[in-house]
Amino acid sequence: ALTAGIVGLPNVGKSTLFNAITKAGAEAANYPFATIDPNVGMVEVPDWRLKRLTELVKPKKEVPTTFEFTDIAGIVKGASKGEGLGNQFLSHIRQVDAICHVVRCFDDENITHVEGRVDPIADIETINLELVLADLESVNKRYTRVAKVAKTKDKDAVAELAVLDKIKPVLEEGKSARSVEFTDEEQKIVKGLFLLTTKPVLYVANVAEDEVADGENNPYVKQVKAFAASENAEVIIVCARAEEEIAELEEEDKAEFLEAMGIEESGLDQLIRAAYDLLGLATYFTAGEQEVRAWTFRKGMKAPQCAGIIHSDFERGFIRAETVSFEDLDHYGTMHAAKEAGRVRLEGKDYEVQDGDIMLFRFNV
């Protein structure tokens, strides 16, 4: 499964946020084969459409889809030089598919800031710089080798050298490689470089309890937003401490708590959805009398591949998929009515599944 890694300087609220994630954790009974890694927190992906389908279909069971966060502890200044847990930290980031960068946006005299002051941009730059330096080292190593081969007019080497020439000066300026624009062809080469600063990122502004409701106007948040905009990255505002409490509440109490805080959706729920989006993930549903269930797929996947997420036999023996969009089923109320209205399609093996599709796979065993 794809995972988003939680990073940030010490004392910014990472553990608090990760605790909230584990407390909110997906019901283990639904996912018997889930990995048990203390650094991985599995959460259910909030989706109102699933609730609506349950209302319509009235199944025995409702099963949401899940998303995984990985806690990456231990960044210190000098990670790229292998200081402290530095190397380990970088190798953990290498393994995640996206980065959730937690930034301290709350004042609290009782909680020491590692640098002695709250300054979100300096914090972001401290971490980003370690990642940039690590990338610069990889790029420089690669550069020497590729430049030699490119002299022989080897086509691949020439193409790669052009990409390295685009990335290198940006890293040398201390900026992340994600700020460089690449063509689709170049993007394939970039992927093979396994850089850290090309991974998609979203910033998590951790604000004080009484600042969440008006988070947009918090001066620290504004700084983070301006910085994120320069990288085309998104910012999610949370109060990690409150999320830890919210995660332990029952559904009804949760709504009340959020209302008292003056927000509509919990920061954690927003974060889950933003990370899901960032990774190019989408959801399709299966809806039967036994269970209504959400399944995660990568945008662009075809029907047989999506069937394979449920079971490899479904992919191998795929014939076709009866498909209806969520909007149509929601509108017509029952599968039968949607069918009468001609809204249920028979899709074949080349169909690109869309977010919100409700699928019934037909297959040979």
Main-chain phi, psi angles of 74, to 5 degrees? 90, 30
Per CB under 6 A, 14 contacts ligand GDP: yes
Instruction: Choose which of 111, 121, 226, 319 interacts with ligand GDP (CB under 6 A).
Output: 111
Q: Closer to ligand GDP by CB, 106 or 284: give it.
A: 106
Site string for ligand GDP, 69-108 (x = CB under 6 A): -------------------------------------x-x
For residue 179, say whether it is annotated as part of any ligand binding site.
Answer: no
- Number of residues lying near ligand GDP (CB under 6 A): 16
How many Cα atoms sit within 13 Å of 25 on the Cβ side?
19
Which tokens in the block code for residue 123? 């914090």
Contact 317, 311 (CB under 8 A): no
For residue 138, say whether it is annotated as part of any ligand binding site.
Answer: no
DSSP string, 83-138: -TTHHHHHHHHHH-SEEEEEEE----TTS--TTSS--HHHHHHHHHHHHHHHHHHH
Residues 147-206 that bind ligand GDP (CB under 6 A): 206
For residue 14, say whether it is annotated as part of any ligand binding site.
Answer: yes
Q: How far apart are CB 142 and ligand GDP at their closest, in Å?
A: 33
Per CB under 6 A, 227 contacts ligand GDP: no
Per CB under 6 A, 266 contacts ligand GDP: no
Stretch that binds ligand GDP, among 5-13, 26-34, 49-57, 136-144 (CB under 6 A): 5-13
What are the C-alpha distances in Å from 301 to residues 65, 150, 230, 308?
A: 17, 36, 31, 11
Q: Closer to ligand GDP by CB, 103 or 131: give it.
A: 103
Per CB under 6 A, 59 contacts ligand GDP: no
Instruction: Choose which of 15, 22, 305, 325 interacts with ligand GDP (CB under 6 A).
Output: 15
Q: Closer to ligand GDP by CB, 238 or 321: give it.
A: 238
For residue 317, say whether it is annotated as part of any ligand binding site.
Answer: no
Q: Closer to ligand GDP by CB, 99 or 306: give it.
A: 99
Q: Closer to ligand GDP by CB, 15 or 138: give it.
A: 15
Q: Answer left, alpha or beta for residue 84, where phi above 0 means left and psi between -120 and 50 means alpha.
A: left
Q: Where are the alpha helices (DSSP H) in the chain?
A: 14-23, 48-57, 86-95, 120-150, 155-172, 184-192, 219-230, 240-246, 251-261, 267-278, 303-310, 312-316, 326-332, 335-340
Nearest to 62 by CA among 364, 291, 320, 350: 291
Per CB under 6 A, 12 contacts ligand GDP: yes
d(CA 111, CA 211) in angstroms, rounded, equals 17
For residue 11, say whether it is annotated as part of any ligand binding site.
Answer: yes
Q: Closer to ligand GDP by CB, 106 or 314: give it.
A: 106
Q: Closer to ligand GDP by CB, 21 or 45: give it.
A: 21
Q: Do strands 201-206 and 234-238 pair parallel, antiparallel, or not at all (unpaired)?
A: parallel
Instruction: Choose which of 4, 5, 7, 13 interacts with ligand GDP (CB under 6 A).
Output: 13
Per CB under 6 A, 240 contacts ligand GDP: yes
d(CA 143, CA 168) in angstroms, rounded, equals 9
Per DSSP, the three-state class of 256 is helix
| Interface residue list for ligand GDP (CB under 6 A) | 8, 10-16, 106, 108, 111, 206, 208, 239-241
